[in-house]
Amino acid sequence: MNSVLRYIQGYPAHIVESVQKLVDSDKLIAWFEQRYPDRHSIQSEKALFEYTMAIKNQYMKKTAPLSKVVYDSKIHLINNALGLHTYVSKVHGNKIKSKNEIRIASMFKNAPEPLLRMLVIHELAHLREKDHNKSFYQLCCHMEPNYHQYELDARIYMMVLELSRGNNG
């Protein structure tokens, strides 16, 4: 199996085979560019925070507040993840203060907007559901009906980035 396909291992065979054919025929990048010709314009961390808060306020008003939403260049390297939700508790006298932070992999700074949205929704869902269980994915799909398609496409986007660098071996 081509190493670039590691991003979609675990998906059904017919999906992996379809993507494999696009990779083998050097058509995956063109297919992806046709599917997603535009990139989002959310470049600053302030814009990313505002974007995330707009989604949070639409679907999850009663969840814990967010203190920070940032692009993080270390996420993919360290955790093999696309985003992280961290929960930091600090004791101040007799009170415990907690902060929720969301970190999005920097590689998504130039991604199509639906893929960034899927990542933000994924991390927001962790405010309510810590584990990747049925309730977690139901919440993701409530906020974004195409969640599962965008999750697959985000993995294909990572393949496209890798192939674009000529690093497919």
Confidence of residue 23 (pLDDT cuts 50, 70, 90): very high
Whole-number percent of the chain with pLDDT over 70 = 83
Is the confidence at residue 64, as pLDDT, over 90?
Answer: no
d(CA 120, CA 147): 11
Domain boundaries, the chain: 3-164
Lowest-pLDDT range of 23-27, 54-58, 78-82, 154-158: 78-82
Is the confidence at residue 90, as pLDDT, over 60?
Answer: no
The per-residue pLDDT for 73 is: 83
Q: Give the residue-averaged pLDDT of 56-79.
A: 82
The per-residue pLDDT for 65 is: 85
Residue 88 tokens read as 């930091």
User: Tokens 């940032």 appear where?
Assistant: 70
Q: DSSP of 46-98, one letter per residue? A: HHHHHHHHHHHHHH-TTSPPEEEEEEETTHHHHHS-SEEEEEEEEEETTEEEE
Task: Read off the amino acid at residue 74.
Answer: K
How many CB atoms neighbour CB 65 within 10 A? 10
The per-residue pLDDT for 4 is: 87
The H helix count followed by the E strand count for the chain is 7, 3
Task: Read off the amino acid at residue 162.
Answer: E
Mean pLDDT value across the chain: 87
Rg of the chain taking only CA atoms, in angstroms: 17
